[in-house]
């Protein structure tokens, strides 16, 4: 079901006490507020249970940053979807550009990770987005289409309705170079069109599409006001409770 979501991707940041303070800070600042979006934090795996404990008492939802494509077994260092489910982690980022780049994750592997999450009733936040060179060569629509087709379009309509997509142009991540609202809207409308073509217009209208890439308290309102932008996946600006909550309140 389409809904507004603001999700914080903490990446590999913060030690335990800092993570606990940030979680508590966000939860406290959101308490009693009328919100127009779902709020998700995605801390490092080690802190997920701490975060889900807080989430029980607040409006916060918790997401992981990665998941294995296997169910269980001899995969040292990996974390399975069933494990995420067992500590009440609701969401999981899949295919972030940093995982694609540094850990060589390709669309075929990401499709398997999406399947595992859906098997265990978790919501994948599937990331897509072009690098600068691809945009300069005007290949960005083609690149995003391929990422989505190969990572998600094996799903049937029911399965697909449980997926969130995040468009994150790689040139905008951590660089301070945000996509303009027009650029973000253009890509989001294109993605919705792909979904309509593959499934139906109804399914496309019901899909949640997030924007990510240098989204902050100053630019969130304009980005989120675009017709096809249903919220954000926030990196750097999710590491300060005050700024993250300002972004949440942009809705
Ligand atoms: P950023 O990161 O907000 O720091 O650009 C976004 C992301 O990588 O999800």
For 25-54, the pLDDT digits (tens) are: 999 999 999 999 999 999 999 999 999 999
Domain 5-248: which CATH number of 3.40.50.1820, 3.30.70.20, 3.20.20.70, 3.30.465.10: 3.20.20.70
User: Cα–Cα distance between 236 and 72 in angstroms, integer?
Assistant: 32
Report the 3 state secondary structure along 188-247: HHHHHHHHHHHCCHHHHHCCEEEEECCCCCCCHHHHHCCCCCCEEEECHHHCCHHHHHHH
Residue nearest (by alpha carbon) to ligand 1 atom 1: 235
User: Cα–Cα distance between 175 and 220 in angstroms, integer?
Assistant: 16
From the CA of 102, how far away is ligand 1's center (Å)?
15
Cα distances from 225 to residues 10, 74, 251, in angstroms, run 24, 46, 8
User: Cα–Cα distance between 228 and 239 in angstroms, integer?
Assistant: 26
SS3 at position 40: strand
Calculate the CA dihedral of residues 215, 99, 207, 124 and round it to 10 degrees.
Answer: -120
pLDDT at 177 over 90: no
Least confident stretch, 121-130, 168-177, 218-227: 168-177
pLDDT at 79 over 90: yes
**pLDDT for residue 107:** 98
* Closest alpha carbon to 45 in 18, 23, 63: 63
Mean pLDDT, residues 152-171 taken together: 97
From the CA of 243, how far away is ligand 1's center (Å)?
14
**pLDDT for residue 174:** 87
Sign of CA dihedral 194, 195, 199, 204: negative
From the CA of 10, how far away is ligand 1's center (Å)?
9
pLDDT digits (tens, 9 = 90+) for 137-151: 999 999 999 999 999
Indicate whether residue 214 lines ligand 1 (CB < 6 A): yes
**pLDDT for residue 54:** 92
Mutate which of 174, 223, 238 to test ligand 1's pocket (most atoms within 8 Å of Cβ)? 174
**pLDDT for residue 178:** 87
Closest atom of ligand 1 to 237 CA is: 3
pTM above 0.95, yes or no: yes
Indicate whether residue 121 lines ligand 1 (CB < 6 A): no
Reported confidence tier of residue 211, pLDDT bands at 50, 70, 90: very high
Answer yes or no: are the C-beta atoms of 100 and 81 closer than 8 Å.
no
Strand partners, 42: 9
**pLDDT for residue 119:** 98
Mean pLDDT over the full length of the chain: 97
**pLDDT for residue 176:** 85
Catalytic site positions:
96, 168
* Closest alpha carbon to 19 in 42, 43, 2, 55: 43
Mean pLDDT, residues 75-96 taken together: 98
């Amino acid at each position: 079901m389409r809904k507004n979501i603001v999700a914080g991707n903490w990446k590999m940041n913060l030690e335990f006490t800092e993570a606990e303070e940030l979680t508590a800070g966000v939860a406290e600042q959101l308490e009693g507020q009328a919100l127009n979006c779902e709020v998700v934090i995605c801390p490092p795996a080690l802190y997920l249970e701490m975060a889900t404990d807080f989430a029980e008492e607040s409006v916060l939802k918790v997401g992981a940053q990665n998941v294995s494509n296997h169910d269980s077994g001899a995969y040292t260092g990996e974390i399975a979807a069933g494990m995420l489910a067992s500590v009440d982690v609701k969401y999981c980022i899949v295919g972030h550009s940093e995982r694609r780049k540094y850990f060589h994750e390709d669309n075929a592997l990401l499709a398997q990770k999406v399947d595992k999450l859906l098997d265990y009733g978790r919501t994948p936040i599937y990331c897509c987005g072009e690098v600068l060179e691809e945009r300069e060569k005007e290949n960005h629509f083609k690149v995003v289409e391929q990422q989505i087709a190969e990572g998600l379009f094996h799903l049937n309509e029911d399965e697909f309705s449980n997926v969130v997509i995040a468009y994150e142009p790689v040139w905008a991540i951590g660089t301070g170079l945000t996509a303009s609202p027009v650029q973000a809207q253009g890509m989001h409308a294109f993605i919705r069109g792909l979904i309509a073509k593959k499934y139906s217009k109804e399914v496309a209208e019901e899909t949640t599409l997030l924007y990510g890439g240098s989204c902050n308290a100053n630019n969130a309102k304009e980005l989120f006001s675009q017709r096809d932008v249903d919220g954000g996946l926030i990196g750097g600006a999710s590491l300060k409770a005050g700024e993250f909550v300002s972004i949440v309140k942009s809705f």
